[in-house]
Amino acid sequence: MDSLPSSLRQPSVIPGFGLALGLTLAALSLIVLIPLAALVLRAASIGPQAFLEVALESRTLAALRLSFGTALAAAVINSVFGLLIAWVLVRYRFPGRRIIDSAVDLPFALPTAVAGIAMTAIYAPNGPIGAIAQSMGFKVAYTPVGITIALIFIGLPFVVRTVQPVLEEVEQDIEEAAALLGASRARTVFQVVLPHVYPALLTGFALAFARGVGEYGSVIFIAGNIPEVSEIAPLLIVIKLEEFDYGGATVIATVMLVISFAMLFVINALQSWSRAKHGNV
């Protein structure tokens, strides 16, 4: 495997390309690609006409719009606050910092259903925050807003944890240099420090977004699940499965997969472009 055509990659003195890539591809094929091929082939087996019928049904489209829309909103909010949290955790020392640092990962560990039940308890009209919202005339739980909040919870660690290590790596010498050259603090942060972080932030955004699109467990409790209003795409998949309709279920899954893949691909391309532009060493 070490003898990959050299035109595929640029020459480098670093060894192990064949081994590393080979291992990666083997694992990727076994764990990800073959199972996904099974999914796509199952979806294709129902025929193009039936495929389009399922995919373009108004209820499917409404569910896809809701899933992608709420995931996007949640990922944007997470990017802003996740960056802020990572910054605070890396740059400042304050009481409770370690607790916060430790707790950021908990959304991963808490089973999604538990998170969903807990979130609904808080944001339902009789919950502590839901009651405040209610008195102000808002409804949080059982609306797309509730879904977005659940997805913020699910996706937050992605942003914080991808940004954090990179932020820790940023050397303060360059900040000192910028300051010495007369740049204001805000300018130093936004034009010198953050550009280093943007690629990682973009990754975090993409991951939080991708995760949010497919999330099921935490969302069903807070969503309300009314068809065409608060019914997410993964719920439609479950409904199809309950009807023993593997074909229909895999069609919706394939559509989601293709859209997510395209978005991730664009974001990854964008990121390598931005890396090239900012010329990281």
Partner 1 sequence: MAMSDRLLPLSHAPKRATSETLLTRILLIGIAGLFLGTILFLPLLTVFVEATRKGWTPILESFQDPDTRSAIRLTLLVAAIAVPVNAVIGLAASWAIAKFEFRGKNLLLTLIDLPFSISPVISGVVYVLLFGAHGWLGPWLSSHGIEIIFAVPGIVLATILVTFPFVARELIPLMQSQGTSEEEAALTLGASGWYTFFRVMLPNVKWALLYGVLLCNARAMGEFGAVSVVSGHIRGLTNTMPLQIEILYNEYNFVGAFAVAALLAALALLTLVAKSALEWMFAGELAACRRH
Partner 2 sequence: MLIQTRRSLFLTAAALSIALSASTSRADKVLLNVSYDPTREFYKEFNEALAADWKARTGEAISINQSHGGSGKQARAVIDGLDADVVTLALAGDIDQIAAKTDKLPKDWATKLPNNSAPYTSTIVFIVRKGNPKAIHEWSDLVKEGVQVITPNPKTSGGARWNYLAAWAYATKALNGDEAKIKTWIGDLYRNVPVLDTGARGSTTTFAQRGIGDVLISWENEAFLIQQEFGADNFEIIAPSLSILAEPPVAVVEGNAKAKSNLEAAQAYLQFLYSPTGQRLAARHFFRPVDPSAADPADIARFPKLDLVSIDKDFGGWAKAQKTHFADGAFFDQIYKPTN
Residues numbered 156-195 forming contacts with partner 1, rule: CB under 8 A: 156-157, 161-162, 164-166, 168-169, 171-173, 175-176, 179-180, 185, 188
Indicate the residue among 125 and 195 with the shorter CB distance to partner 2. Answer: 125
Q: List the one residue from 4, 16, 29, 138 that touches partner 2 (CB under 8 A).
A: 29
Stretch that binds partner 1, among 48-56, 58-66, 223-231, 249-257 (CB under 8 A): 249-257
Nearest 10 degrees: Cα torsion 107, 224, 65, 106: 0
**Which of 54, 66, 215, 251: binder of partner 1 (CB under 8 A)?**
215
- Contact between 75 and partner 1 by CB under 8 A: the answer reads no
Number of residues lying near partner 2 (CB under 8 A): 34
Q: Which residues of 179-195 are buried (b: 16+ CB within 10 A; e: fewer)?
A: eeeebeeeebeeebbbe
Return the residue of 39, 121, 129, 264 that touches partner 2, per CB under 8 A. 121
Q: Tokens 């199972």 belong to which residue? A: 35
Q: Should residue 241 be labelled a site residue for partner 2 when binding is judged by CB under 8 A?
A: yes
* Shortest distance in whole angstroms from residue 60 CB to partner 2: 11
Q: Sign of the CA dihedral 10, 13, 14, 15? A: positive
Asked whether 130 and 141 are in contact (CB, 8 A), the reply is yes
Residue 250 lies near partner 2 (rule: CB under 8 A): no
Residue 227 binds which one of partner 1, partner 2, none, with CB within 5 to 8 A depending on kind? partner 2
72 touching partner 1, by CB under 8 A:
no
Strands of 208-257, DSSP E: none
Q: Which is nearer to partner 2, 226 or 262 (CB)?
A: 226
Give the Cα separation of 104 and 89 in Å (integer). Answer: 10
Residues 115-144 that bind partner 1 (CB under 8 A): 115, 117-119, 121-122, 128-129
The radius of gyration of the chain's CA atoms, rounded to the nearest angstrom, is 22
Rounded-to-integer distance, Cα 39 and Cα 247, Å: 9
Distance CA 151, CA 222 (A): 11
Return the DSSP state at 7: G
The total number of residues shown for the chain amounts to 281
The residues binding partner 2 (CB under 8 A) are: 1, 22, 26-27, 29-30, 58-59, 117, 120-121, 124-127, 141-142, 220-221, 224-228, 235, 238-245, 248
